[in-house]
Structure 1
Amino acid sequence: MEKVDAYQPMSSDDKTASILRAFHTYLPENGRVNFLNHLDSLQINQQLHDHARSLIDGLVTPFISLRSTPSISPRLGMEDSIASVASESTGPIQIQDHLKVECLARDGNRCVVSGLFEEASVDRNSTEPITLTECVHIIPFSLASWHSRSENHAKDVIWTNLIRHFPTLETIRFTRENINDTANAMTMSFSLHRHFGRFDFSFEETSQLQKYRIQNHSPRMQMRLPRTVFFNWYDRRYDLPHPELLKVHAIIAQIFHASGAAEQIQKALYYLEGHCALAKDGSTDVSSILAATTLGVLASRGDNA
């Protein structure tokens, strides 16, 4: 990591060094080996900067927002790996309505975090606390769906990055073809789904099977989260959420917050989703918002810009 320590920032908001350190700190051991092997091949400042950007564009940001064709520049030497991933695809995956039914059956018609019952499953005269639930993918469904050749290629790059930095995915034979497996899904309330997708919290494995510690990455989040959750298995026809998939989400969440990328990405998403209006007096910090393009967020929404 001497190259990272010697890196010269290219601007005041250059997060290159913190991004690379976060990946080195939190990646699983087998993924860290691949990360360091490539880092050793980089020679100049610009290469380190470009690599940090490619890691955020092609691995972290896609877990949060991927609503149109992302702009991702794969690093040199990935061509064979991308081609291999592409050859295994049978085409874009479609949402399957039965997945929510299966997850509800397995999870006892409850949100796995809050324990509240799905509204539609409770008798109208019941006094049980209820909520509206959704079927939540751990590895996002958007990574297995596309509408154009360019978007397809971008997803191939993302999957190549995933496998390179999380080799265990190959060990458990998880690919985009398994995106709608119950092992990659769980029942969660509507509001908690949004927080989970934004890396506000994640699940950390404990020594007890199916018991997870809730890692709250956003202390300002208003919702009260339990310290631990236990995944009950009400219908054993359907697999429980796979620990390795939850681990991938948890590690990327840690990288997202530790790298310094979180603030820029969240600010750009807030602006792009229409919650931020430009001030009439011209005081809006547009340059700060546009700085997030270096992390690929605005590029991922380029079709709507």
Structure 2
Amino acid sequence: MSESDEILSPAVSSTGFPTFAEAKLSLDAALASYQSDPEDHTDDTKRFLEICFTYFPLEGQVNLSDDVRGCNDNDEFRQLANSIDTDLLRPLLSKGGKTPPSPHLPGTLASFLKIRSKTSTQRLETSNIGALNTISLATNQEESYTRRISEIWTQIFRYFPSLLSTFDMPSEAVNREDNIMMMLNAFHGGFGRFHFVLEATSTPHQYRIKTFPRLSTLCELALPRDRLVSFTNQHSRIDLPGAAHLEFHAAIGNILHASGRGETIEKLIRNLGETAGSSPFTASLKFTTDSKVKQQPA
């Protein structure tokens, strides 16, 4: 698949197309005035904003188009691109796959996990499966940290407004049952670092696994051949993963890969020798969802 194929916009519904088309025309018209810095050969501001528009949901596309249209000069275009990079992409990736799930799981889920670990009749050892956070937020009372977290959530809600209904109070909502899923421990790192994403299909609760080059070969080989997974719950009181949460994760993964910034940020993290709790990007935002991933028969 060519790079141009990889960054095609997700399908837009017929009812939403006029809104999408208007936002795209407005974005293109505004970006046409942008001039790259002749002394900075790495300046990808225009392309980066176009890629973000490609993968943001419709409401986020409209908001980004408005933000781009509000830029009055080249510096403001760059500031906008930089704010998305530093307040959205870097915080999510800098802690991805590192922070363990919160011990404060909902009572129903915590009880279910205890029962499952004792009574599972599956051949797969339950010790190899763990709860994975989809969007979680570390708590810290320092004013500067709290302010930083607020900036990050502002970006998330600006471009992914559908999450507002779930995370209207992020610090209290991150352990909702529809924001936690069970996944083989071997895949936690790859999912948290956006080396693969789950994209919705036309079948309810079924997702197609989209992998990126940084996913390990062993994980790649362990995936179902048709790359399809379905979410099921083994307890009627436990919700399935929220579609908006997975859509958000997939969008961030696609942007990181298509723009090349995922590799750049990971390299920067390695070079800085980042350790847990001392991230230069602060914020330990990670990814969750409860339930179990059921592989489709090959």
Same fold (TM over 0.5): yes
Q: Which stretches in structure 1 are left out of the alignment for 5+ residues?
A: 68-93, 110-119, 276-296
The superposition leaves residues 160-192 of structure 1 with CA deviations (integer Å, 9 ceiling, x where unpaired) of 111110111224565412101111111122221
Q: Distance in 1 between the 2:81 and 2:203 partners?
A: 36
Matched residue, 1:166:
160
1:135 is the counterpart of 2:149: no
- Of 53, 77, 87, the match for 1:48: 77
Deviations 1:244-267 (A, max 9, x none): 111011111111111221121011
CA distance in 2, matches of 1:232, 1:217: 25
Distance 2:205 2:137 in 1: 23
Q: Is the partner of 1:134 in helix, strand or coil?
A: strand
Determine the structure 1 residue equivalent to 2:230.
Answer: 230
Identify if the C-alpha distance between structure 1 residues 141 and 189 changes in structure 2 by more than 3 Å, giving closer, same or farther: farther
Letter in 2 for 1:39: V
1:104–1:203 Cα change, 3 Å: farther
Partner of 1:284: none
Distance 1:104 1:209 in 2: 27
| Structure 2 counterpart of 1:196, from 191, 196, 201 | 191
> C-alpha separation between the residues in 1 aligned to 2:178 and 2:95?
22
Q: TM-score, normalised by structure 2?
A: 0.71
List per-residue Cα deviations over 1:20-39 (Å, max 9, x = no partner). 11111111111111111111
Q: Percent identity?
A: 26
2:109 alignment partner in structure 1: 102
Q: Distance in 2 between matches of 1:228 and 1:164?
A: 31
Aligned length: 240
Q: What SS is found at the alignment partner of 2:36? A: coil
**What residue is the counterpart of 1:35 in the other structure?**
64
Q: Shift of residue 99 of structure 1?
A: 4.6
Kept in 2, the 8 Å contact 1:100–1:134? The answer is no
Contact 1:103/1:187 (<8 A) preserved = no
Q: Distance in 2 between matches of 1:189 and 1:220?
A: 15
Aligned match of 1:8 = 36
Query: What displacement does 1:11 show?
Result: 1.4
Offset at 1:140? 3.0
Give the whole-Å Cα distance in 2 for the aligned partners of 1:138 and 1:22.
23
Pair 1:171–1:140, CA change in 2 (3 A): closer
The letter of the residue matching 1:7 is Q
> Given the alignment of the two structures, is residue 152 of structure 1 paired with residue 146 of structure 2, yes or no?
yes
1:208 to 203, 206, 211: 203
Q: Offset at 1:220? A: 5.0
Equivalent position amino acid for 1:159 in 2:
W
- Determine if the alignment matches structure 1 residue 243 to structure 2 residue 272: no
- Is 1:257 equivalent to 2:257 in the alignment? yes
Tell me, yes or no, if the aligned pair for 1:100 and 1:135 is still in contact at 8 Å.
Answer: no
Contact preservation (8 Å) 1:18, 1:258: no
